[in-house]
Structure 1
């Protein structure tokens, strides 16, 4: 046993424990908000008019390589969303009669939206529960962007990658 070591004695003062790492401070993270995600992506929202036909919508979806379009009225207000799933569902319901139909006849009218202050966790939960992959971001009645489930997953993966890099740097020094 090293001579510098002395076993604790009954009269010793208890040392105040200190640590730079604890479960509490490692588990506390600032809630990531939709505004953070939007800041890192193109905020252009591709819209289509209610009066446009499905062939026009399908062409935009193909050309822009996206899965949904925000539907707006003549005033530019959000009135619905048209997704690939909406189109496929309608094709199955009305075979051979779907393409001449308008966007308004096929869109989802009860659109679930989020705001820029909503957290990624809240939005992901809403998407999972509602079984949809696209959510318009609306703030003060104005369309601010579109969030997809892929955006949320990619943001979180990048965040985890950054955290792992920080931990490696902490360990290596």
Structure 2
């Protein structure tokens, strides 16, 4: 028997137990927000001007390995979003004559945006419902970043891994 072992005594049950983990601490979960994603991802946003051509947009998309560009005016105000999907649609309409078109002719003007405080569940729901994959983060006409459906899913997967670890620790003790 190890030296540190002491058999239970009659009064042991009366003492206040202290534990390093509890159901509350292990299962407490704050609602994840867009800011949580931006904190991990960063707030870098690649943009293009409305008067720039699709040729310029395609080069930037390829160079940066991204799927969409935010379209902003000279003051940085959001005017639209240009996605690979927008370009493919235009390509189907004007084969061989697509790249000279202006971004403003092809971009999505009615852009769904979110705020930094919005929950990821809400953003994911809106993206799924609207069938789009990129959402600019805007507050008071100021662009703070962009979140993608991939960012949201990746963030949630990491959360699930952490939750699984917490549950394992709870079971093991």
SS, match of residue 116 in structure 1: coil
Give me the whole-angstrom Cα distance separating, in 1, the residues matched to 2:58 and 2:97.
15
The more displaced of 163-172 and 60-69 is: 163-172
* Higher relative contact order (Cα pairs below 8 Å, separated by 6+ residues): 2
- Count of aligned pairs between the two proteins: 151
Residues 1:127 and 2:133 aligned together: no
Q: Please state how far the C-alpha of 1:21 moved relative to its aligned partner.
A: 4.7
Which runs of 5 or more residues in structure 2 are unaligned? 1-21
Root-mean-square deviation (CA, aligned residues, Å) is: 1.6
| Aligned counterparts, 1:25-104, within 5 A | 26=27, 29-104=29-104
Partner of 2:116: 116
Give me the whole-angstrom Cα distance separating, in 1, the residues matched to 2:55 and 2:140.
32
Which runs of 5 or more residues in structure 1 are unaligned? 1-19
**2:68/2:134 contact within 8 Å kept:** yes
Partner of 1:150: 150
TM-score by length of 1: 0.83
Give me the whole-angstrom Cα distance separating, in 1, the residues matched to 2:99 and 2:70.
19
Greater share of helix: 2
Give me the whole-angstrom Cα distance separating, in 1, the residues matched to 2:74 and 2:155.
34
Deviation per CA, 1:90-143, whole angstroms, max 9, x where unpaired? 000111221110111110000000001110011001101110000000012110
